[in-house]
Amino acid sequence: MTLSSKSIESTALEILSDLGKYTATSYWEDGTAGYLAERATAAGLDVSIDEWGNVLATKPGSDPTTPGIAFIAHTDHPGYEVVEQDGEKLTLKVLGGVGAHAGMNGAQVLVISRDGDRLPATVTGSDDPEDDYAKSRRAEGWLATGTVYATLNAVVDLGELPLPVVPDLHDFEIEDGIISMRAADDLAGCAAILAALESIVDEPTTGNVHGLFTRAEEVGLLGAILAAENELLPKSTIIVSVETSSVLPGAEIGQGIVIRTGDRAATFDYEAEAYLGAAAGRIKSENPDFKIQRQLMSAGGCEASAFKAFGYKVTGTAFPLGAWHNRGENGVVPEFISQEDFVGGAVLIAEAAKLAGTSPRGVLARLSESNPEQSDRLRSIVSNRPRR
């Protein structure tokens, strides 16, 4: 019996709303990671935190020697940190892929103090790109320089630096079936995974089911690379990256969760994708209207490529995302995803998790099965026809 979207929707939305309140800037996502660890523990999952701050939540299976399945999302989002203060004047370092509008005069940001206060500041500009690569990145709409300048709206001694800085955007809102927030990428992935694991925590599975929440993805997949390199998960584990990725033709908002066949760095593995395909088939057998898309999401990279580089079998999903990394046509804006896509993704994760420790038959396996009767007929036709 598959899970209904209603049984998981309220949990997934609650978690995502909670996560939106935290700072998610790379290296500064302790609040996000702490919330995930505490909630996973309260749900009855086994939780550990490695030396790099990656959070691993595990639902043990009945036979841990069989291949488990791990759903992976990152806890960070592009932002900045204050590296220098001169009165009200601030120098910010860019962390991750930030849009060009974020470095223009008038952009609004919030400095997060050691006490958690949000201190408004206004961007006054950024350094001009100098080399050809930086210039091309700026032409594509990205802030190519790593330095931005800002002015505090009220003079405050920030104390010990650095401190995280985020765009001054709302934490979380839902309107007309659209979720908008400062950092949907990839808090939506984190929320969907944890909601899915909570929904099946008391259901038996053969293999272990993991939720891995990695740090500092936006500055180079750092947490994922370290976890993969040091085999935080057994090499036999099926890896499923759960991302929130820019819309593309064939990966449209409102058309369902995307089964991701690859990213900018690599194509993924069909042996792993078979778990998602089998789960989708089970859901659609009870709900034919369940929406799903399948696409190679080439705009960016994801944790699956990090694990693939170290010999794991990988696949992925993606929530189609608008205003990727807060890039609006005329300014810095909230990211947005479809509520239906988000809930559907959580349901797909939960259903795929139930298959941990099994070897689901995918389309390729079914295609490889011969039909002796039809094969004999084709052989007979060919052998009895004259050659030209």
Q: Among 375, 268, 355, which Cα is nearest to 316's?
A: 268
Q: Where are the domains of the chain?
A: 5-75+182-364, 79-167
Task: Tell me what the mean pLDDT of segment 333-357 comes to.
Answer: 97
Task: Tell me what the mean pLDDT of segment 298-318 comes to.
Answer: 95
Rounded Cα distance between 383 and 388, Å, is 13
- For residue 1, what pLDDT is reported? 47
**φ/ψ (deg, to 5) at 311:** 95, 10
Rounded Cα distance between 84 and 99, Å, is 22
The mean pLDDT of the chain is 93
Q: Which range (95-99, 145-149, 275-279, 307-311) has the least confidence?
A: 145-149
Confidence of residue 6 (pLDDT cuts 50, 70, 90): confident
- For residue 372, what pLDDT is reported? 73
Q: Percentage of residues in the chain with pLDDT exceeding 90? A: 83
73 pLDDT exceeds 60?
yes
Long-range contacts of residues 46-54, Cβ cutoff 8 Å, at least 24 apart: 50/226, 50/227, 50/230, 50/232, 52/215, 52/222, 52/223, 52/226, 52/227, 53/215, 53/223, 54/212, 54/213, 54/214, 54/215, 54/223, 54/226, 54/227, 54/232
Q: Percentage of residues in the chain with pLDDT exceeding 70? A: 95
State the SS3 of 234-302: CCCCEEEEEEEEECECCECCCCCEEEEEECCCCECCHHHHHHHHHHHHHHHHHCCCCCEEEEECCCCCC
Counting every residue written for the chain, the total comes to: 388
Neighbours of 276 (CB within 10 A): 27
123 pLDDT exceeds 80?
yes
State pLDDT tens for residues 164-186: 999 999 999 999 999 999 999 99
- For residue 37, what pLDDT is reported? 98
Are 214 and 54 in contact by the 8 Å Cβ rule? The answer is: yes
Task: Identify the residue whose tokens are 């990152």.
Answer: 74
State pLDDT tens for residues 11-21: 999 999 999 99
Are 169 and 333 in contact by the 8 Å Cβ rule? The answer is: yes
Task: Identify the residue whose tokens are 């599975």.
Answer: 205
Are 32 and 187 in contact by the 8 Å Cβ rule? The answer is: yes
- For residue 379, what pLDDT is reported? 74
Confidence of residue 388 (pLDDT cuts 50, 70, 90): low
Report the side by side order of strands in the sheet with 292-296.
Answer: 46-49, 55-59, 209-214, 69-74, 238-246, 313-321, 257-262, 292-296
Q: Which range (5-9, 32-36, 103-107, 333-337) has the least confidence?
A: 5-9
Residues 6+ positions from 54 with CB-CB distance below 8 Å: 212, 213, 214, 215, 223, 226, 227, 232
Torsion sign (Cα): 173, 178, 183, 189: positive
Rounded Cα distance between 43 and 312, Å, is 28
Report the CATH fold assignment for 5-75+182-364. Answer: Aminopeptidase (3.40.630)
Query: Is there a shared CATH topology between the 5-75+182-364 domain and the 79-167 domain?
Result: no
State pLDDT tens for residues 199-250: 999 999 999 999 999 999 999 999 999 999 999 999 999 999 999 999 999 8
Q: Among 218, 186, 197, which Cα is nearest to 70's?
A: 197
367 pLDDT exceeds 60?
no
94 pLDDT exceeds 50?
yes
150 pLDDT exceeds 60?
yes
Residues 6+ positions from 276 with CB-CB distance below 8 Å: 240, 259, 315, 317, 348, 352
Are 74 and 189 in contact by the 8 Å Cβ rule? The answer is: yes
Confidence of residue 300 (pLDDT cuts 50, 70, 90): confident
Report the CATH fold assignment for 79-167. Answer: Thrombin, subunit H (2.40.10)
4 pLDDT exceeds 70?
no
Confidence of residue 29 (pLDDT cuts 50, 70, 90): very high
- For residue 3, what pLDDT is reported? 57
Q: Which range (125-129, 335-339, 375-379) has the least confidence?
A: 375-379
Task: Tell me what the mean pLDDT of segment 141-145 comes to.
Answer: 82
